[in-house]
């Protein structure tokens, strides 16, 4: 059996074959890292298998609980006080213990992983703290959009419909998450349920209340008051959730959606699909800079989202200059608690994929298309000249009609450049052969030859002589048994 060493400076993968034999796994007291001597069985129960993630103050591992019938998976989170001075270490330990205490209370919610254990481990002169949580087998939403692209409105409404009640539950118990982002929202492979993760930055609201916030946040997602280190509110989590939503809808990072010149969000122009005016208004209100202008509670945002107002899907907004004002929210502004009156059922908006805005094709494609149409037009022009010489002016209308018809078919995408080239290829041998159907036009002039031809064709000189055309004396050309007399005072001779 493989067990991963959790000492930050080691990380050795140990192999213990005896743990896979019989009942040894449950009866063994302890195993130690063969490289650094770190205890391997954490809390006497949990066996780390592999690292899962690493943050500023800790690391997360996938582990096994050896005292469960199926040796089920769990998540072990370790505080790693490396490179911290005593004051920083004290703060980090306090935060870690607070996370454990909060999770013990908040883990009762079905969409928050349950806390299973919290304990220290002594390794020589070093002490490490661990907490163990329920394992959720799935992907976080950052991984979802990286692998599958942006979410649809229907999917996003499902996310909001799950997380807003979770946040209401958290806020009602005096806590603020302070680190909501796509990477901290997990979707289960088995149940497709959404879970809110990572309460390491949680802030508990006390009666002594308006203390400055510690500088723990994810840039781009944190609201202005949290970035300044000011007091945070439930509306602070709603701002971070709003940023998360527009990132999920567009597939973009926050820095791609925020315009620092206007200090405002411009995300509508980057939507790959239209959304309803109701959802747009709710997100716009969640993203307002001033905390007192946002929804005062998660329940207020949920009520606004479930209000069947302005259901017509609206397309992504056209790009606006930086000086243009941001769209004003159209949704009502409820107060902090639930609104009176019955709530409407969640709105399920049928979202249709929007046709992408017109964009010019690459220059090479434009030049090729122009050449194809020019090639087709040139062939039809040659055909028109041939028909004109053969049948007259009326027949020349045919190529013009064919060219106009081809332009219409090409513009409607009924035919493409390949089809135009095929039709052009059919015309090439026709023009090369010159075999057109006979019409009522005059027959072509007979072929002439130098010298007499008694087999049906009159010679050139015979024809000239018949009309009395003078013929140059030099150079003399043999005319058979005919002769040419010079004309007096002239360089020409008359054939006799």
Q: List residues with catalytic annotation.
A: 179
Nearest Cα neighbor of 41 from 10, 66, 59 is 66
Q: Give 235: exposed, middle or buried? Use CB within 10 Å, 0-12, 13-18, 19+.
A: buried
User: For residues 76 and 113, what is the distance between their CA atoms, to the nearest angstrom?
Assistant: 12
Cβ contacts of 269-273, under 8 Å, gap ≥ 24: 269/316, 269/317, 269/318, 269/319, 269/320, 270/316, 271/315, 271/316, 271/317, 272/149, 272/150, 272/316, 272/354, 273/150, 273/152, 273/153, 273/316, 273/351, 273/352, 273/353, 273/354
Structure tokens at 56: 């500023």
Length of the chain measured in residues: 496
Phi-psi region of 134 (alpha: psi -120 to 50; beta: other; left: phi over 0): beta
Q: Report the distance separating Cα 233 and Cα 336, nearest Å.
A: 12
CA atoms within 13 A on the CB side of 27: 6
Give the containing element (helix H, strand E) for 240. helix 234-250
List all residues 6 or more positions away from 152 whose beta carbon is below 8 Å from its beta carbon. Answer: 273, 351
* Residue 431 · residue 384 · CB < 8 Å: no
CA distance 172 to 338: 13
User: Measured between alpha carbons, how far is 469 from 461 in angstroms, rounded to an integer?
Assistant: 9
In the 8-state DSSP scheme, what is residue 11? -
DSSP state at residue 218: -
CB 305 within 8 A of CB 348: no
The tokens of 181 are what? 């982002």
* C-beta neighbour count of 414 within 10 angstroms: 9
Measured between alpha carbons, how far is 445 from 435 in angstroms, rounded to an integer? 17
Of 232, 224, 234, 282, nearest in space to 258 by CA? 224
The residue to which tokens 């993760």 are assigned: 197
* 71 contact partners, CB below 8 Å, separation of at least 6: 25, 64, 65
CB 137 within 8 A of CB 120: no
């Amino acid at each position: 059996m493989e067990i991963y060493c959790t000492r930050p400076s080691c990380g050795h993968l140990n192999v213990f074959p005896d743990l896979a034999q019989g009942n040894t796994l449950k009866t063994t007291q302890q195993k130690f890292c063969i490289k650094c001597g770190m205890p391997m069985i954490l809390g006497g129960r949990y066996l780390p298998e592999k690292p899962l993630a690493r943050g500023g103050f800790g690391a997360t591992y996938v582990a096994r609980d050896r005292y469960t019938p199926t040796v089920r998976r769990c998540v072990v989170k370790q505080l790693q006080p490396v490179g911290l001075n005593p004051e920083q270490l004290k703060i980090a330990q306090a935060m870690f213990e607070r996370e454990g205490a909060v999770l013990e209370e908040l883990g009762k919610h079905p969409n928050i992983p349950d806390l299973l254990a919290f304990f220290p481990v002594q390794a020589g002169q070093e002490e490490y703290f661990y907490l163990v949580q329920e394992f959720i087998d799935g992907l976080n939403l950052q991984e979802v959009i990286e692998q599958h692209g942006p979410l649809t409105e229907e999917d996003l409404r499902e996310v909001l419909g799950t997380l807003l009640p979770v946040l209401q539950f958290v806020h009602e118990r005096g806590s603020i998450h302070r680190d909501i982002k796509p990477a901290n929202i997990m979707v289960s492979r088995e149940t497709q349920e959404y879970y809110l993760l990572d309460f390491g930055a949680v802030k508990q609201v006390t009666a002594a209340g308006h203390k400055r916030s510690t500088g723990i946040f994810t840039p781009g997602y944190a609201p202005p008051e949290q970035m300044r280190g000011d007091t945070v509110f439930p509306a602070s989590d709603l701002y971070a959730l709003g940023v998360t939503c527009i990132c999920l809808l567009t597939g973009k990072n926050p820095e791609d959606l925020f315009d620092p010149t206007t200090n405002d969000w411009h995300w509508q122009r980057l939507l790959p699909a239209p959304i309803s005016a109701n959802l747009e208004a709710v997100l716009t209100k969640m993203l307002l800079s001033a905390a007192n202008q946002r929804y005062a509670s998660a329940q207020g945002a949920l009520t606004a989202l479930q209000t069947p107002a302005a259901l017509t899907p609206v397309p992504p907004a056209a790009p606006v200059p930086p000086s243009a004002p941001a769209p004003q929210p159209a949704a009502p502004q409820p107060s902090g608690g639930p609104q009176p009156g019955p709530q409407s059922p969640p709105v399920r908006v049928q979202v249709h994929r929007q046709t992408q805005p017109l964009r010019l094709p690459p220059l090479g494609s434009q030049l090729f298309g122009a050449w194809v149409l020019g090639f087709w037009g040139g062939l039809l022009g040659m055909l028109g000249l041939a028909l004109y010489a053969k049948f007259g002016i009326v027949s020349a209308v045919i190529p013009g009609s064919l060219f106009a018809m081809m332009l219409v078919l090409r513009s409607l995408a009924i035919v493409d450049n390949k089809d135009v080239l095929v039709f052009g290829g059919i015309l090439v041998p026709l023009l090369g052969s010159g075999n057109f159907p006979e019409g009522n036009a005059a027959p072509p002039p007979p072929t002439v030859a130098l010298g007499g031809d008694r087999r049906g064709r009159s010679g050139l000189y015979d024809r000239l002589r018949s009309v009395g055309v003078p013929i140059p004396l030099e150079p003399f050309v043999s005319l058979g048994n005919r002769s040419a007399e010079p004309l007096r005072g002239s360089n020409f001779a008359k054939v006799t």
